[in-house]
């Protein structure tokens, strides 16, 4: 029984160790001058996608208090959020500093 528990414990720990994404060079691996002089633009990274829930429940009062999310059977739609920030990268100076992403300008 002890051997089974030890084997299962070892498997859980070993799988947990391999779940993180590995890259060729991580800044946390560096020490001293190599950490200080790290150039992020010399190392290619893949952008991570961020998903957002498109449907929000707009409940108030007793309906919000008594809402049970685990009983909700409606289909959830995930939308990819654009994190590139191309609009702000085109700006310079005070326009870059005072950029407000929540204000949508007509094009």
- Ordered mean pLDDT values, 10 residues apiece, the chain (107 residues): 80 63 63 87 77 78 88 79 68 86 69
Run of H or E including 52 = strand 50-53
Closest CA to 81 of 54, 45, 100, 44: 54
Q: What confidence score (pLDDT) does residue 8 get?
A: 79
Residue-level pLDDT at 62: 92
For residue 43, what are the contacts with CB-CB under 8 A and spacing of at least 6?
A: 24, 25
- Helix ranges, 1-107 (H): 2-17, 33-36, 62-65, 86-89, 94-97
Does pTM top 0.85 for this prediction? no
pLDDT score of 61: 92
CA distance 18 to 23: 12
**For residue 18, what pLDDT is reported?**
56
Q: pLDDT at position 19, please?
A: 54
């Amino acid at each position: 029984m002890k051997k089974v528990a030890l084997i299962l414990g070892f498997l859980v720990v070993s799988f947990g160790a391999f779940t993180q994404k590995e890259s060729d060079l991580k800044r946390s691996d560096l020490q001293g001058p190599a950490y200080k002089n790290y150039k992020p633009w010399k190392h290619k990274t893949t952008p991570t996608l961020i998903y957002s829930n498109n449907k929000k429940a707009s409940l108030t009062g007793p309906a919000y208090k008594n809402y049970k999310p685990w009983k909700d059977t409606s289909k959830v739609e995930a939308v990819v959020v654009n994190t590139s920030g191309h609009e702000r990268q085109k700006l310079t100076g005070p326009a870059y500093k005072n950029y407000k992403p929540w204000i949508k300008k007509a094009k």
